Chains A and B, each alone.
Chain A
Amino acid sequence: MRRRRKPCPICEMSCRVIDYKDERLLSRFLTERGKIIPSRLSGMCARHQRQLSTAIKRARQIALIPFIRGYSR
């Protein structure tokens, strides 16, 4: 039997846009290495997953979250 789809965590917060400056929120959707968690694991809806990926990439550019966590030269 197919599992029922998980509700989107962002829709549940009834928030429409994801802010790229909110690193607490973004870090919930990153793996421990700093990769974006796929929506099939997080249950994110397609619209929010798209917003999330843009937001995470912006946050990386302004050094709020690392490109790779635990990597140092």
Chain B
Amino acid sequence: MTREYELVYIFDSTLEEPQINERLDRFHALLTCPEAPEPITAVSHWGKRTLAYSIRGKEVGYYVVVRFESRPDLLGELERAIKLDEGVLRYLVVLNEGLAPAPVETEGEEPAAPTAADDDSDDEGDDA
């Protein structure tokens, strides 16, 4: 039985696009299984973004969001491969539980938007 997952990678921003694609191909090859011959359903490159806090001394990361379908027991091998790769600063695998389709990210948008930048009209304070 397969399940749907979503995977976010943060690559070192010094890597070039071909190097990142090579890594993605290598990781995704691990997911193929008889039940899901085409495991990857969507790949979206967010591109370089400023991290909200530094990871391994880096302030900028290259984000890639991948949706895939795979058997749960293949995830261990995938995560092991990702952890061994020095070029990946951070990753996150979560079950895709009927999430709305990923919003179209404006690339290079200011990541750390100031708190309550857009709508703070009715949220605080009037309960006091």
Contact = CB atoms under 8 A, between A and B. Distances in A.
Interface of A: 3, 6, 9, 15-17, 19-24, 27-28, 30-32, 34, 37, 40-43, 58, 60-67, 69
Contacts of B112: 65-66, 69
Interface residues of B, number: 34
Interface in B73-123: 90, 92, 94, 97-100, 102-103, 105, 111-120, 122-123
Most buried by A among B115, B117, B124: B115
| Chain B interface main SS type | loop
B52 A66 contact: yes
B10 interface: yes
Given A17-B100, A63-B55, 16 more contacts: A21-B105, A23-B113, A24-B118, A27-B114, A27-B116, A27-B117, A28-B118, A28-B123, A32-B115, A37-B123, A62-B10, A63-B53, A66-B112, A67-B53, A69-B112, A69-B115
Interface in B24-73: 51-53, 55, 61, 63, 65
A48 to B, nearest CB: 14
B111 A23 contact: yes
If over half of A's interface residues share one DSSP class (helix, strand or loop), that class is named, otherwise mixed; here it is: loop
Given A17-B99, A27-B117, A6 B122 contact: yes
Interface of B: 8, 10, 51-53, 55, 61, 63, 65, 90, 92, 94, 97-100, 102-103, 105, 111-120, 122-125, 127
